[in-house]
Amino acid sequence: MTEPLLSVRDLKKHYPIKKGLLNRQVGAARAVDGVSFDIAPGETLGLVGESGCGKSTVATSAIRLEEPTAGEVLFNGGDRRGATRNDDGTHPNDVTRFDKGELKAFRRDAQMIFQDPSSSFDPRMTVGATIAELLSIHGMTDRGRRRRIVEDLIERVDLSASDYDRYPHEFSGGQKQRLALARALVLDPDLIIADEPVSALDVSVKAEVLSLIDDLQAEFGLSLLFISHDMSVIREICDRVAVMYLGEIVELGPTEEVFHGPEHPYTEALLSSIPTPDPRATLDEIELTGTVPSPTDPPSGCRFHTRCHRVIQPEDMEMDQAEWRRLLTLRKRIESREVDVEQATENLALDDEPDDLSDEAIKSQLRSEFELEAPLDSATAEATLETALDRLVSGDADGAEEVLSSSFTTPCETTHPEFVDHDADHKSACLLHVDDRPDSRIGVENVPQ
Ligand SMILES: Nc1ncnc2c1ncn2[C@@H]1O[C@H](COP(=O)(O)OP(=O)(O)OP(=O)(O)O)[C@@H](O)[C@H]1O
Ligand 1 atom at minimum distance from 13 CA: 12
Alpha carbon of 114 to ligand 1 centroid (Å): 15
pLDDT band at 282 (very low <50, low <70, confident <90, very high): very low
CATH number at 6-238: 3.40.50.300
Q: What is the pLDDT of residue 281?
A: 52
Interatomic CA distance for residues 346 and 58, integer angstroms: 46
Non-local CB neighbours of 299 within 8 Å, separated by 6+ positions:
246, 293, 305, 306, 413
Ligand 1 atom at minimum distance from 50 CA: 21
What's the mean pLDDT when you consider all of the chain?
89
Alpha carbon of 269 to ligand 1 centroid (Å): 22
- Write the pLDDT tens digit of every residue in 156-173: 999 999 999 999 999 999
Ligand 1 atom at minimum distance from 229 CA: 25
Evaluate if residue 405 carries a pLDDT over 80.
yes
Query: What is the residue with the minimal CA distance to atom 3 of ligand 1?
Result: 15
Query: What is the residue with the minimal CA distance to atom 1 of ligand 1?
Result: 15
Q: What is the pLDDT of residue 317?
A: 84
Alpha carbon of 444 to ligand 1 centroid (Å): 31
- Write the pLDDT tens digit of every residue in 408-431: 999 999 999 999 999 889 999 999
Lowest mean pLDDT segment, chosen from 128-132, 263-267, 273-277 = 273-277
Q: What is the pLDDT of residue 412?
A: 95
% of the chain with per-residue pLDDT over 70: 92
Q: Are 25 and 16 in contact (CB under 8 A)?
A: yes
Q: Are 192 and 216 in contact (CB under 8 A)?
A: no
Evaluate if residue 104 carries a pLDDT over 70.
yes
With the most atoms of ligand 1 within 8 angstroms of its CB, the residue from 12, 13, 14, 15 to mutate is: 15
Alpha carbon of 360 to ligand 1 centroid (Å): 44
Q: Which of 290, 293, 241, 247 is nearest to 267 (CA)?
A: 241
Evaluate if residue 357 carries a pLDDT over 50.
yes
Evaluate if residue 297 carries a pLDDT over 80.
yes
Evaluate if residue 291 carries a pLDDT over 90.
no
% of the chain with per-residue pLDDT over 90: 71
Query: What is the residue with the minimal CA distance to atom 25 of ligand 1?
Result: 51
Q: Which of 179, 203, 181, 206 is nearest to 194 (CA)?
A: 181
For residues 206-210, average pLDDT: 92
Bridge-partner residues for 227, per DSSP? 47, 195
Q: Are 285 and 92 in contact (CB under 8 A)?
A: no
Evaluate if residue 96 carries a pLDDT over 70.
yes
Alpha carbon of 28 to ligand 1 centroid (Å): 12
Q: What is the pLDDT of residue 439?
A: 46
With the most atoms of ligand 1 within 8 angstroms of its CB, the residue from 19, 47, 48, 57 to mutate is: 57
What is the interface pTM, i.e. ipTM, of the complex?
A: 0.97
Q: Are 47 and 55 in contact (CB under 8 A)?
A: yes
Q: How far apart are the first and last CA of the chain?
A: 30
For residues 300-310, average pLDDT: 95
Ligand 1 atom at minimum distance from 295 CA: 29
Ligand 1 atom at minimum distance from 66 CA: 1
Ligand 1 atom at minimum distance from 244 CA: 21
Residues flanking ligand 1, CB < 6 Å: 15, 29, 31, 49, 51-57, 229, 295
Ligand 1 atom at minimum distance from 294 CA: 29
Query: What is the residue with the minimal CA distance to atom 14 of ligand 1?
Result: 54
Evaluate if residue 191 carries a pLDDT over 50.
yes
Query: What is the residue with the minimal CA distance to atom 28 of ligand 1?
Result: 52
pLDDT band at 344 (very low <50, low <70, confident <90, very high): confident
pLDDT band at 359 (very low <50, low <70, confident <90, very high): confident
Evaluate if residue 24 carries a pLDDT over 90.
no
Domains of the chain: which residue ranges? 6-238, 321-409
Query: What is the residue with the minimal CA distance to atom 6 of ligand 1?
Result: 15
Non-local CB neighbours of 8 within 8 Å, separated by 6+ positions:
35, 36, 37, 38, 58, 62, 71, 72, 73, 74
- List C-alpha distances in Å: 323 to 328, 339, 361, 376, 410: 9, 18, 21, 8, 14
Query: What is the residue with the minimal CA distance to atom 10 of ligand 1?
Result: 31
Alpha carbon of 440 to ligand 1 centroid (Å): 33
Query: What is the residue with the minimal CA distance to atom 18 of ligand 1?
Result: 54
Ligand 1 atom at minimum distance from 59 CA: 18
Alpha carbon of 15 to ligand 1 centroid (Å): 9
pLDDT band at 287 (very low <50, low <70, confident <90, very high): confident
Ligand 1 atom at minimum distance from 196 CA: 25
For residues 25-41, average pLDDT: 94
Q: Are 376 and 387 in contact (CB under 8 A)?
A: no
Angle between helices 397-407 and 321-335 (to 10 degrees): 140
